[in-house]
């Protein structure tokens, strides 16, 4: 009946609002995360075409909400003066090794050296160069050039012995081909490995801030909360109306 259909539609709307709120909360939680890309939420109607009649989908076909993409805009660049802090200038990504040993991509350039001299980012992922994980020998200074070249002055040597010991792998696949994993790293949807892109430039002594707009995220939170409350009121109204209709029928 009509009330039954209304409840299904409102239930779908409430579920979608909750899912969108979860994505928005995730953005807010990462407002201070280096290089974070905000989730973008979009509503999608998930009607079952197999049940369509005369081109119309069933009124009980649930709608759904999916986080389909991410905000491609760069975050602001913040100078730190630290040699191992690096930011991509414009479009592009750093390549790192995930927990499974596979290649993945990130905008977080908060690098550091572990006890073995392996270059890692702030999440502990090994940073990849053109030939695999980058290991830096003992040194007195490190410099990362705009093209990703890593130069050092070997420990106990003078500046005249400066040598390039590796290059960051920098990639720039189309954003539509990337998806975020549960670990926060990005990968190509097809499971391929992105080739190095020599046009990607980096800035040393700098970190990229999250691109989350805090004020907008707060506004979204309020709007989504109101949408959820509206859907719940509609479900309650449908229930009360159905009960009233039943009472009228029983009195006849």
- In tens digits, the chain (252 residues) has pLDDT values of 455 666 667 777 777 777 788 888 989 999 999 999 998 876 665 554 444 455 555 555 555 555 568 999 999 999 999 999 999 999 999 999 999 999 999 999 999 999 999 999 999 999 999 899 999 999 999 999 999 999 999 998 888 889 999 999 999 999 999 999 999 999 999 889 999 999 999 999 999 999 999 888 888 888 878 877 887 788 777 776 666 666 655 555
Query: What are the start-end ranges of the E strands in the chain?
Result: 39-45, 63-70, 77-79, 86-89, 93-97, 103-106, 112-113, 119-120, 126-129, 132-133, 139-144, 149-154, 163-167, 170-171, 178-180, 186-188, 201-204, 206-208
């Amino acid at each position: 009946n009509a009330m039954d259909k209304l409840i299904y539609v409102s239930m779908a709307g409430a579920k979608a609002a909750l899912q969108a709120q979860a994505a928005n909360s995730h953005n807010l939680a990462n407002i201070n995360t280096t290089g974070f890309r905000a989730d973008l939420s979009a509503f999608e109607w998930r009607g079952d075409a197999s049940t369509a009649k005369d081109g119309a989908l069933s009124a009980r076909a649930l709608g759904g909400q999916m986080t389909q993409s991410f905000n491609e805009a760069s975050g602001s660049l913040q100078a730190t003066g630290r040699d191992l802090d690096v930011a991509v200038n414009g479009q592009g990504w750093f390549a790192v090794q995930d927990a499974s040993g596979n290649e993945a991509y990130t905008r977080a350039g908060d690098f550091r050296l572990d006890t073995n001299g392996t270059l890692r980012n702030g999440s502990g992922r090994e940073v990849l160069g053109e030939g695999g994980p980058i290991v830096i020998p003992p040194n007195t200074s490190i410099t990362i050039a705009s093209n990703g070249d890593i130069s050092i002055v070997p420990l106990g040597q003078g500046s005249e012995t400066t040598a390039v010991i590796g290059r960051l792998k920098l990639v720039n696949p189309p954003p539509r081909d990337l998806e975020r994993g549960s670990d926060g790293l990005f990968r190509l949807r097809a499971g391929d490995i992105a080739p190095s892109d020599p046009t990607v430039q980096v800035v040393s002594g700098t970190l990229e801030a999250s691109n989350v707009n805090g004020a907008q995220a707060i506004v979204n939170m309020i709007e989504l909360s109101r949408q959820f409350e509206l859907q719940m009121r509609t479900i309650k109204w449908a229930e009360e109306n159905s009960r009233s209709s039943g009472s009228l029928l029983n009195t006849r």
